[in-house]
Structures are given as C-alpha cells and as structure tokens.
C-alpha cells in the first residue's frame, strides 16, 4: 500500500478535530518550545486555550538581542520575566548573535542585565549564559559575588569582570566555567567547587596578576589571552591542562608592566611578577597527569615558561607532556631546557615535541650537551614523538641531539603533521 500523502493526513486530522500536539505533556511541550526563539515561544499562547499559560513555565529561556530598538527589547524581556510564573529555571541565556545597530548609548540594550541575572538566580537556574559579541562597549557582568545554591554551569562572553564578580565561593555546585572575549580586571578568582575552567581570548588589563584559587580543578585551559598570565594557586586534583600564550601578548614575558614604563623590575623580588611565589604557572600544574604548553607564533628565548622552569616543583604525576619550539633553542639545537623539564617528570610515559620552525644547527652535537647532565629515562618512559610539518627541515639534527643527551634511539619517533593537532580533552 502506498504511503499516505501529508495532505491526506492533515485532512484526516482536521476532520477528526484531534489536536495531538496539545495532547502532549507539559514536559514534552516545554522541550519543543526550548528550540524556538523566545519571541516565537511566547506567541504560542495564541494557538489554543491549552497554550495560553504554558509558556510561563518554560524551564529554558534564551533571550536574543534582535533587530529592534533597545527600548523595545528591554520592555519585552522585563515583561517576559514579570509575567512568568515561579517555576525554576534549568537554563537562562542572554545573547547577541548578529551585528546590532546600537544607539549612542551602547549600554542601553543590556541596561537591565544585572536585574535579569538576579531573577535567574532567584529561580534556581542551573545553566547561566551571558554572551555579547557585537556591542560597542562590553557590559559589566555583575556588581558583586554570585550567590547561588543551584548554579552548575556559567558561560560568559564579551563582558567585563571586575571587583568581586569572580568570587564564586558562594556557588557550592558550580563546576563548569567558561570565560571568552572578556575584560578581566578582578584581582582574584576563587571557588572551591569549579572542576573545569576555560579562559580564552580575554584581556587582563591590570598591572597585577589575577590569582586563580580553585583547589578542586580537574581540567584547565588558558588560551590566547592578552595581559599578564594568571597566577595559578595549588590544584592538587588537576588532571589535564593546556596553556597557550600569544607571542605578541605581554603574557609571554616573565616580567611585569614596569618594563613598558621604563622602570626597573627585579625579577626575583617584584611582587607584580611573582607575588610571594617564584612560579606563576607551573606551581599550579605540578599535579597534572596530562599537560600541553604552547607559544603561538615565534617563541622568545625568555618567556614565562622558561622562567618558571627554574623554580617549579617536580611534576610527580605527569604521564603525557606536549611541548613546542619554546622548550628547544631551534637555531642552536639546544635542548637543555627540555632535559631540565624531563628531570622533573619521574613517571613520564609520553613526550610529544611539536616543531614548527626549520632547524639551522651547525655546531657539534657534543658541545650543545656539554652543560647538561646525561638524561637517564625512568622505566615508565615509553615514547618521544617529534611532530613536524613538511616545511620543517633538519629535524634529524634535533633527534641526534636528543640521543646525545641520553634519550634511547628506539623510543624516538618522527611524525609529519598533516593538520594542526590539539590536545584531546
């Protein structure tokens, strides 16, 4: 029997007078409405008597700044939250997805942002997203520490975080925090519950470093940020970490902004550089089992990684390590920094070296290793993988240098890179 056409099905439904969608449970209808823009979800109140009140208990709200005047947008959102009932929120999101033609007051489209956030927190929101990517001026996220006994996930894009807005100590269930394209001028980020932290493409304008105090962190990702690299406190439960610094950013340097101002900076004593500790990054990463460290662009002979390497504690749990050119002086094929790193990793199993530049080493191999003790790999050390592009020449010279420093030949493997490979999370 041939399948019935859609017209016949619609005609049969109309003749029977049966409204199958309205017969669904509230939970199923809420699920359907969660895929609609909030403007369209509210308009479903015109469909039938069954739909008049159902939008008021939607557990998922995504409010998007549309192509309408700021006054209309603010009025709509304020009325939406005022007429909504007291049903708890699973997710609440405020965002801009398209270019917005703002008025002279670029803050007008988000004038009531903090009031909306307070409403979401009062409704026990589990997932909170604030994403503003096209406004001329970044709005301030919140005027104080967040207080919520229910918040689990927080995603921020294009906002200003200052004062106490990064104090999450009163959010005991918060586990996932993503901060992107934000301006972070707070001095401290503290949380006893955060498990996964990702800060990328953000700006740190302060002369002093942001202190990250998250002792229960499981996974950390710091990538392409501008300004001083955050100081990482003790993270005894950390498993995975990825730190990528921009070559053009101040984050690559070990020194503070004093040098930009023509002032003297004593690296060992400067409180802006290291506070009370010698290490900025490696002290917090010392308990991780998988680490990737990268400098995007041509590396510098002096950077915060090499500075930290002189003072960091042993990486007693590290099993997988991914490094790029910064740890090797490619011009002279000097691997002393790499050997020092390996001496701090007693149970390391896998080392991956990502080489992007051509090696122009012309000296004798023995001379490059004369100042370094012979490296004796532990029984756990299984493989050294040298990953290079097709354009990277003379990689065999680097391999010969590694062998001269004590790394066995049988565990070294050369692999050509076809695509840019990232650490798997």
| pLDDT tops 90 at residue 38 | no
Q: Would the pLDDT of 313 be above 50?
A: yes
231-232 sheet: strands from edge to edge: 188-190, 211-213, 231-232
Whether 367 shows a pLDDT value over 70: the answer reads no
Please report the pLDDT score of residue 390 as a whole number.
64
SS3 state of residue 107: coil
d(CA 45, CA 79): 15
Its pTM stands at 0.82
pLDDT at 211 over 60: yes
Mean pLDDT of 248-274: 50
Residue 200 has pLDDT above 80, yes or no: yes
CA dihedral (154, 155, 158, 161) positive or negative:
positive
**What is the average pLDDT across 221-244?**
93
* For residues 235-249, average pLDDT: 87
Chain-wide mean pLDDT for the chain? 79
Residue 195: Cβ-neighbour burial (10 angstroms; 0-12, 13-18, 19+): middle
pLDDT of residue 330: 61
Residue 366 has pLDDT above 60, yes or no: no
What pLDDT does 178 receive? 97
Higher per-residue pLDDT: 205 or 15: 205
Higher-scoring residue by pLDDT: 9, 278: 278
Angle 196-201-207 from CA coordinates, rounded to 5°: 95
Looking at the chain, how many residues does it have? 425
Per-residue pLDDT, 338:
85
Higher local confidence (pLDDT), 314 or 397: 314
- Summarised one tens digit per residue, pLDDT across range 135-179 is 777 889 998 899 999 999 999 999 999 989 999 999 999 999 999
| Span 382-410, average pLDDT | 80
What pLDDT band is residue 261 in, cutting at 50, 70 and 90? very low
Mean pLDDT of 42-61: 78
Are the C-beta atoms of residues 1 and 26 closer than 8 Å to each other?
no
What is residue 387's predicted lDDT score, i.e. its pLDDT? 85
Find where tokens 């549309």 sit.
66
How far apart CA 329 and CA 306 sit, in angstroms, is 11
| pLDDT category of residue 68 using cuts at 50, 70 and 90 | low
- Strands, E assignment, 134-246: 153-157, 160-161, 176-180, 183-184, 188-190, 196-200, 203-204, 211-213, 219-227, 231-232, 240-246
Is residue 107 scored above 80 in pLDDT? no
- The CA–CA distances, whole Å, from 294 to 129, 217, 324, 352, 387 equal 29, 21, 6, 12, 14
> Which carries the bigger pLDDT value, residue 114 or residue 254?
114
Q: Give me the pLDDT at residue 264, please.
A: 42
């Amino acid at each position: 029997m041939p399948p019935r056409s859609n017209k016949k099905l619609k005609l049969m439904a109309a003749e029977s007078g049966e409204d199958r969608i309205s017969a669904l449970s509230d939970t199923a209808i809420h699920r359907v409405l969660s895929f609609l823009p909030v403007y369209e979800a509210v308009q479903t109140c015109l469909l039938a008597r069954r739909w008049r009140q159902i939008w008021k208990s939607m557990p998922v709200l995504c409010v998007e700044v549309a192509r309408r005047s700021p006054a209309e947008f603010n009025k709509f959102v304020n009325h939406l939250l005022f007429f909504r009932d007291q049903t708890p929120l699973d997710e609440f999101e405020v965002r801009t997805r398209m270019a917005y033609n703002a008025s002279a007051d670029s803050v007008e489209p988000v004038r009531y942002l903090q009031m909306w956030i307070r409403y979401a927190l009062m409704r026990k929101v589990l997932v909170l997203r604030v994403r503003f990517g096209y406004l001329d001026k970044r709005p301030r996220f919140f005027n104080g520490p967040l207080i919520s006994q229910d918040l689990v996930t927080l995603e921020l894009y294009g906002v200003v975080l200052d004062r106490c807005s990064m104090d999450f100590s009163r959010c005991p269930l918060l586990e996932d925090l993503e901060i992107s394209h934000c301006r972070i001028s707070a001095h401290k980020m503290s949380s006893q519950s955060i498990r996964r932290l990702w800060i990328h493409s953000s700006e740190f304008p302060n002369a002093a470093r942001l202190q990250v105090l998250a002792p229960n962190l499981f996974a950390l990702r710091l990538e392409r940020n501008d300004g001083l690299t955050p100081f990482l406190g003790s993270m005894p439960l950390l498993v995975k970490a990825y730190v990528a610094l921009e070559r053009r950013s101040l984050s690559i340097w070990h020194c503070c902004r004093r040098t930009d101002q023509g002032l003297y900076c004593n690296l060992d004593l400067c409180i802006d550089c290291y506070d009370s500790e010698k290490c900025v990054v490696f002290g917090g990463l010392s308990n991780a089992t998988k680490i990737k460290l990268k400098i995007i662009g041509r590396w510098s002979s002096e950077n915060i990684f090499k500075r930290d390497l002189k003072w960091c504690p042993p990486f007693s749990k590290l099993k997988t390590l991914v490094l790029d050119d910064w740890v090797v002086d490619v011009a002279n094929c000097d691997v002393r920094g790499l050997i020092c790193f390996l001496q701090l990793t007693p149970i390391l199993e896998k080392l991956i070296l990502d080489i992007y530049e051509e090696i122009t080493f012309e000296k004798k191999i023995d001379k490059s290793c004369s100042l370094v003790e012979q490296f004796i790999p532990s029984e756990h050390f299984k493989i050294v993988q040298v990953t290079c592009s097709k354009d990277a020449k003379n990689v065999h010279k680097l391999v010969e240098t590694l062998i001269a420093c004590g790394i066995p030949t049988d565990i070294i493997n050369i692999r050509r890179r076809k695509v840019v490979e990232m650490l798997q999370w």
